[in-house]
Amino acid sequence: MTDLHPPQDDWDPAASLAEVKARVHIAEAACGRAGAGVQLLVATKTWDANAAAAVVAAGGSLVGESRMQELAAKGDALRASGARVHVIGQLQRNKAAIAVQFADCVQTVDSLRLAERLSRLCLEAERDLEVMIQVNVSGEDSKAGVAPDEALALASAVQALPSLTVTGFMTIGLNSQEEGPVREGYRRLRELRDTALIRSERGEMPLREAWHLSMGMSRDLEWAIAEGATMVRVGTAVMGARPSN
Ligand SMILES: *Cc1c(COP(=O)(O)O)cnc(C)c1O
């Protein structure tokens, strides 16, 4: 069983959200992107349905779940709260049905086989699904995601499948305090996205809607926004430190 944690007693979701939204706005302004409307996704992994519903009620209406076991447990409550739900953790094909049941978008598509499974499940459920292509920009062995030089071919193949729309690219940044290498990875994702849009505009690729860049978390959202993030995924800065099980 997954151990889900209740909200902490002294947690003020509205105040935490306001602080993080201010960070996002300041970061946008600092790099000449004032008013860019970078979206804030709140990563609610390890927190229970009450904590997730509280953050949605406070205005954090875009929520990310990492583990399908947790999504299965919280999915009905998240739906009832009116949240938009994105899958941001690695998705096994045998758990894809949970994503199709509860999620609006799967950000972690990194193989055609997974996309084919999602497509088939969506056809059965008579629904459409947004997906992003997860790219391993840092090349670390431990990280999920398709290699950068395979990302556009995968994205095009996924877009060709029924019921799926590729809305952009997602990456987990290098875990480092050094600005240069972290930003280099994020820049690489932006360059891939730009190529996708330019080539689609020329009719060479089917990726006109793939404009999202989901990158940046609590520790480095400023760097990601400076490199063009359209969505940052923030857990601890909004929800508080995740209690260890
Ligand atoms: C948990 C998680 C985040 C948020 O991380 P924090 O450091 O808590 O902000 C972002 N992206 C993914 C994929 C995650 O699993």
CATH class of 13-239: alpha beta
> What is this structure's pTM?
0.97
Q: How many Å apart are CA 193 and CA 168, to the nearest integer?
A: 7
pLDDT of residue 141: 82
pLDDT of residue 64: 98
Cβ of residue 215 lying under 6 Å from some atom of ligand 1 = no
Residues contacting 237, CB < 8 A, separation 6+: 16, 19, 20, 23, 218
Which residue minimizes the CA distance to atom 12 of ligand 1?
Answer: 88
Which residue minimizes the CA distance to atom 11 of ligand 1?
Answer: 233
Domain boundaries, the chain: 13-239
Q: 134 C-alpha vs ligand 1 centroid, how far in Å?
A: 14
Q: How far is CA 239 from the centre of its chain?
A: 16
Cβ of residue 90 lying under 6 Å from some atom of ligand 1 = no
Cβ of residue 43 lying under 6 Å from some atom of ligand 1 = yes
Q: 33 C-alpha vs ligand 1 centroid, how far in Å?
A: 23
pLDDT, tens digit only, all 245 positions of the chain: 568 999 999 999 999 999 999 999 999 999 999 999 999 999 999 999 999 999 999 999 999 999 999 999 999 999 999 999 999 999 999 999 999 999 999 999 999 999 999 999 999 999 999 999 999 998 888 889 999 999 999 999 999 999 999 999 999 999 999 999 999 999 999 999 999 999 999 999 999 999 999 999 999 999 999 999 999 999 999 999 988 75
Q: How many Å apart are CA 194 and CA 148, to the nearest integer?
A: 13
Q: 217 C-alpha vs ligand 1 centroid, how far in Å?
A: 6
Question: Which pair of structure tokens corresponds to residue 158?
Answer: 């996924």
